[in-house]
Amino acid sequence: MPFVSQIKRQTDYNLYSSTTPIVIDNGASNFRIGWAGENDPRVIFRNIVQRPRHKTTGETVSIVGDHDTTLLKYFDCSRSGPRSAFDSNVVYQFEIMEYILDFGFDRLGANGSEIDHPVLITECILNPVQSRSKMAELLFETYRVPSVAFGVDAAFSYKYNQQNGICDKDGLAICPGFTTTHVIPFIDGEPVYKGCSRTNIGGYHVTDYLKQLLSLKYPHHMARLTWEKVEDLKMEHCYIATDYASEARLFQKGTKEAEEKTRCWQLPWVPPPVEEPPSEEEIARKAAIKERQGQRLREMAEAKRSTRINELENQLRGLEFLLQQLEQVEESEIPYFLKDTGYVSRQEIETALAKATQSLRKVKGEPKGEQAEVEEKTDEKYPLVNIPDNMLTQDQLREKRRQMFLKTTSDGRQRAKQKRVEEDLERERKNQLDEQKRLENPELYLGEMRTKYKELCEKVEQRKRLKTNGNHSNGNGMSGGVGRGERLNAAQRERMRLLTTAAFDRGKGEDNFGAKDEDWQLYKLMSKDNDDDDEGPDEDETELARVSSRLQEIDPTFVPKPEPGPSQSAADMPRSRPLTKEDFQILLGVERFRCPEILFHPNLVGIDQAGLDEMAGVSMRRLSSKDQVLEERLTNSILMTGGSCLYPGLSERLEAGIRMIRPCGSPINVVRALDPVLDAWRGASLYAAAVQFPQQTFSRMDYFEKGEDWLRGYQFQYTL
């Protein structure tokens, strides 16, 4: 298919004789190229170039205009942004301009080594000679065109609309373009360049301003706010406010009229699936499955328990048999007898027998009262504890100290275990009492539990706040700035005092700390083990956890408060919620008129220049003539052209602004071009098709003979 379209372009190109000029509207935003005499250009594309790399081969390619999204599969466009040949509205990157001209001529069908057609190309008003000479050099020496003519795009648009009766011979052409805005006065159909004015504001700045505002307003949708999409939103929704201040107050008050003027862009959003409550059959089926799984687990646990009981019984029989054999072995032959059994003494065998017996009783689930015999045997592990020291040898004293340490550790574990058992019993007793109260009056019980939960939360948060910031606040309930000493409790402050005193005393005289036994007691006082305020949760926190767990059991709607982090309180914790359709909406309210307002007040984006209405007054003042009649003729025919004059309300706002700087009763007529975007190319096409057009060009021979200086005085004549 691309080969067929290429043949068609080549055929169309061959239909035109070598004297048919090629018309190029070289705008900073779009590049338009076509044949003279036609009503519309043949090719239109964005005036940008990208040079991405192929993801597989790493080869660099050139992409002119808007790249196809399918190319992202093969090329890495993230490292090479779009580049333009323009600086403001002046061409200065002619390497990029060559890529664009190659692409334009190729799409027009002129894919030969030479372009044997005259070329009419547009340029900005008062284009620098350096830019014009480089463009002539590119066309003459690279493409070998026979002749070239340069013209101003706004002048072509004004003359085209003049011929169609839209404007008069005397008037003003206001051209808000892509990067700049020009005002050109016309007298007797010719532009007066000495009265021109320019400001560095245009459609690019409006789009960039809108993109910045939407990115700040919706930072989580920045990937969606591409330049092309923001450009479409600007052209579709933006407008010029007749009175900017009153329009802004309208949106500030949030009136119904402001809501009607707000536009919504709905991003793609798929609602989450709604989970329907399970039916009774589904609940019964899941319950049956759960019961079968529980029965299977119980059977597996019973089989595992039986296997464990058999292993322990076999172990007990083996240990008892081994002890019986030891009774028949002499004391001196015991180590040799136990060499292959894995034990080294009778005491170790008895200890293993006691442990196996205790494990067997535990597996069988026998009550603890039946373990008295096992405990008596366990006490035999520490036979030296109750023997006086004067009856023991040195080796036995060392063994006694080891047994005392082991016994103390074992007793501590038993006490901790007993304490946990008592706490579990107390908790179970409280739960039974709570359940009894709940059954008597469920609503009253639920209210009391919620009140208790709220009070405990406040107490715990208050304690944490005081612990972090001391007893100080800044007057509004928030923590204030206090010193570290004010955040410490009593034990911590005492420890800090002792450390400071010890450090102060070391600096005085001779350092004899540690010579006395009393000095070492200071370490015990400074030890953090004495500070019990920070060890584990307090009673309120434990009770809060119990109440929270109880509320979760009896109240399905209860949601416990999240634990605050170290740098934020519970009130500041973000609460997640499911995303809705409104979260994927971008609302355009005040941005609709705030962004294009920079055409009249460029200082909104930090550009200290005049707006459109002021520029019109500046252009008329620059004319040397003080003729009041001429100024009235100029303001009676004000033509708006260019892509940035398509905003609704622009003509009314411009007329009101110019009326403020003109005498009362002055005629003011602001009109818009027939097609502000394409009228410049159509006017150039009309002039290139005229008979006297060859007289307006200069040939390649003139260029090589006269050089670049001849271009300094070149000026296109717009009179047909």
Of 374-383, 634-643, 710-719, the range with the lowest mean pLDDT is: 374-383
Q: Determine the pLDDT at residue 280.
A: 86
**363: alpha, beta or left? (left if phi > 0; alpha if psi -120 to 50):** alpha
d(CA 142, CA 95): 12
- Whether the pLDDT of residue 567 is over 80: the answer is no
d(CA 303, CA 607): 85
Q: Which helix (H) or strand (E) holds 54?
A: strand 53-54
d(CA 45, CA 411): 89
Neighbours of 669 (CB within 10 A): 14
Phi and psi at 185, nearest 5°, equal -80, 140
* DSSP codes of every residue in 333-388: GHHHHTTTTT--SHHHHHHHHHHHHHHHHHHHT--GGGGHHHHHHHHTT-TTTTS-
Tokens 């063994």 -> residue: 399
Are β-strands 147-152 and 698-699 bridged in parallel, bridged antiparallel, or unpaired? antiparallel
Residue 667 CB contacts under 8 Å (≥ 6 apart), including other chains: 632, 635, 636
- C-alpha dist (Å) from residue 130 to 28, 136, 191, 486, 716: 18, 10, 22, 74, 17
d(CA 190, CA 187): 6
d(CA 673, CA 345): 113
- pLDDT for 471-500, tens place per residue? 544 444 444 444 444 456 666 777 777 766
Q: Determine the pLDDT at residue 482.
A: 45
What does the pLDDT average to over 563-567? 52
Q: Which helix (H) or strand (E) holds 8?
A: helix 2-15
Beta bridge partners of 639: 173, 671
In the structure, what pLDDT confidence band is assigned to residue 570 with cuts at 50, 70 and 90?
very low
- pLDDT for 280-328, tens place per residue? 888 889 889 988 998 998 899 899 989 988 998 898 888 888 888 888 7
Q: Which helix (H) or strand (E) holds 682?
A: helix 679-688
- Whether the pLDDT of residue 87 is over 80: the answer is yes
- Whether the pLDDT of residue 624 is over 80: the answer is no
Of 12-16, 349-353, 400-404, 651-655, the range with the lowest mean pLDDT is: 12-16
Q: Determine the pLDDT at residue 513.
A: 60
Q: Is residue 29 classed as helix, strand or coil in its secondary structure?
A: coil
Largest CA distance in the chain: 142
Comparing 216 with 575, the larger pLDDT belongs to 216
- C-alpha dist (Å) from residue 406 to 262, 394, 418, 539: 80, 19, 18, 32
- Whether the pLDDT of residue 5 is over 80: the answer is no
Whether 717 contacts 696, CB under 8 Å: yes
- pLDDT for 644-669, tens place per residue? 999 999 999 999 999 998 888 889 99
Half-sphere exposure of 266 (CA within 13 A, CB side): 6
Of 7-16, 401-410, 417-426, the range with the lowest mean pLDDT is: 7-16
Q: Determine the pLDDT at residue 419.
A: 86
Query: Beta strands of 165-316 (E only): which ranges?
Result: 171-176, 181-187, 190-191, 197-199, 263-266
* DSSP codes of every residue in 660-699: HHS-TT----EEE-SSTTTHHHHHHHHHHTSTTGGGG-EE
Tokens at 39, concatenated = 């009503």
Q: Is residue 44 classed as helix, strand or coil in its secondary structure?
A: strand
CA 579, 583, 587: angle at the middle one, nearest 5? 175
Q: Determine the pLDDT at residue 1.
A: 39
Interhelix angle for 612-622 vs 628-635, to 10°? 150
Half-sphere exposure of 89 (CA within 13 A, CB side): 28
Half-sphere exposure of 460 (CA within 13 A, CB side): 21
Residue 125 CB contacts under 8 Å (≥ 6 apart), including other chains: 152, 154, 155, 182, 184, 191, 193, 196, 198
User: Computed from CA positions of residues 83, 88, 93, 97, in that sequence, does the dihedral angle turn out positive or negative?
Assistant: positive
Comparing 544 with 658, the larger pLDDT belongs to 658
- pLDDT for 234-253, tens place per residue? 999 999 999 999 999 999 99
Q: Determine the pLDDT at residue 356.
A: 85
Whether 302 contacts 283, CB under 8 Å: no
Whether 599 contacts 176, CB under 8 Å: yes
Tokens 């201040």 -> residue: 245
Q: Determine the pLDDT at residue 489.
A: 62
Residue 596 CA from chain centroid, whole number: 27
Mean pLDDT of the chain: 82
Q: What percent of the chain is helix, strand and coil (3-state, nearest 5)?
A: 55, 10, 35
Residue 387 CB contacts under 8 Å (≥ 6 apart), including other chains: 396, 400
Comparing 677 with 449, the larger pLDDT belongs to 677
Comparing 26 with 423, the larger pLDDT belongs to 26
Q: Determine the pLDDT at residue 569.
A: 47
What does the pLDDT average to over 685-712? 86
Find, among 42, 44, 41, 39, the residue nearest to 160 by Cα: 39
- C-alpha dist (Å) from residue 626 to 169, 612, 630, 634, 662: 19, 22, 8, 13, 14
- pLDDT for 488-543, tens place per residue? 666 677 777 776 666 555 545 555 665 566 666 666 665 654 444 444 556 778 88
